[in-house]
Amino acid sequence: MSVEEEIPIHEFVKLIYGKEAPRPGELVIGVVVDIQDHGIYIQLPEYNKTAYVPLRELGRGIVRSPRQHYTINQMVVARVYKTARRGLYINASLRRLSQKEAQAKLMYWRKLNRSLHLARIIAEELGLELTEVIENILSPLAEYYETPFDALEDALIRGKKVLEECGLPEEYVDRVYEIARDNILIRKMKMKFVVEIGTLAPDGIIRIKNAIMEAAKQFKDLAIKYESAPRYLVWVEGFERSTIKKRFSDFVSRLEEILLSMPDSEKYKTYVRAAE
């Protein structure tokens, strides 16, 4: 297969994950291809198969006319609840999933397509066959991350060691990292928190100010502003929500440690706590 040749997404999924059909309980992307009074048929691009969604599974409420709710080529997220004959017959539901699950699946779908797009770029840049790139470069990444794109994103955040830890052949690490850096835009996000700080010490304001300044020396990705006693607004920057929340938690712990180490802190009922 030459670099110029296209590879359909279902072949990409098969090469990366070894999957040819969805399993019961799995979320799938579907494209509406046929609408009947008794239900709709959706094409599953990840597997190149068709699933049937019966009328009762079209929505949480009563759906009397599918044509009033769905159109041909409309993209939907569904949950497979029954399969037969190795995926030849698939029943799916549009109501057995939450909005949060649907959004997560759509994000996965976008990253999966971007993974394939990057595979083509890597193949062209390295002069390799597309299937060779998928099997030798992207597949190792998919063993540790939901999609190869997630791995490449993380490598840009944490460094080339991510690619090495995934078992990427040494001769590809530098070039793949460079290609990822040239084609993936990493944006920092900022989250706001509230921390409550209080003390009955006569010099309480000075204590709190000094503690904040001391703690902030270790947290350059953080900004803090007084709101109203005892509340302070804290903004933390980072690439991932979980990391940002951990940084805020560490900051609160460090701030508490500094304040409680001051003379008579217990006597003056000194406290630091993250507000809900």
Place of tokens 């460079």: 178
Domain with CATH 3.30.70.1130 in the chain: 189-274
Topology adopted by domain 101-183: DNA polymerase; domain 1 (1.10.150)
The residue-averaged pLDDT of 2-31 equals 88
Cβ neighbours around 201 below 10 Å, total: 19
Give the pLDDT confidence score for residue 1 in this predicted structure: 42
pLDDT band at 181 (very low <50, low <70, confident <90, very high): very high
Using DSSP's 3-state secondary structure scheme, residue 92 falls into strand
Q: For 248-262, what is each residue's pLDDT tens digit?
A: 999 999 999 999 999
What pLDDT is stored for residue 166 in this prediction? 95
- Looking at residue 61, its pLDDT comes to 77
Residue extent(s) of CATH 2.40.50.140 domains in the chain: 13-97
| Fold classified for 189-274 | Alpha-Beta Plaits (3.30.70)
CATH superfamily of 13-97: Nucleic acid-binding proteins (2.40.50.140)
Q: Span 187-194, mean pLDDT? A: 90
Residue of 52 and 62 predicted with greater confidence: 52
The pLDDT of residue 117 is above 60: yes
Q: Where in the chain is the domain with CATH 1.10.150.190?
A: 101-183
Tokens of residue 239, six digits: 């690439």
pLDDT surpasses 60 at 3: no
For 140, list phi and psi in degrees, rounded to 5. -60, -35
Average of per-residue pLDDT across 224-247: 91
C-alpha to C-alpha distance for 175 and 183, rounded to whole angstroms:
12
The residues, any chain, with a CB within 8 Å of residue 30's CB and separated by 6 or more, are 42, 43, 44, 51, 53, 75, 76, 77, 78, 92
When comparing pLDDT for 1 and 45, which is higher?
Answer: 45
Confidence of residue 5 (pLDDT cuts 50, 70, 90): low
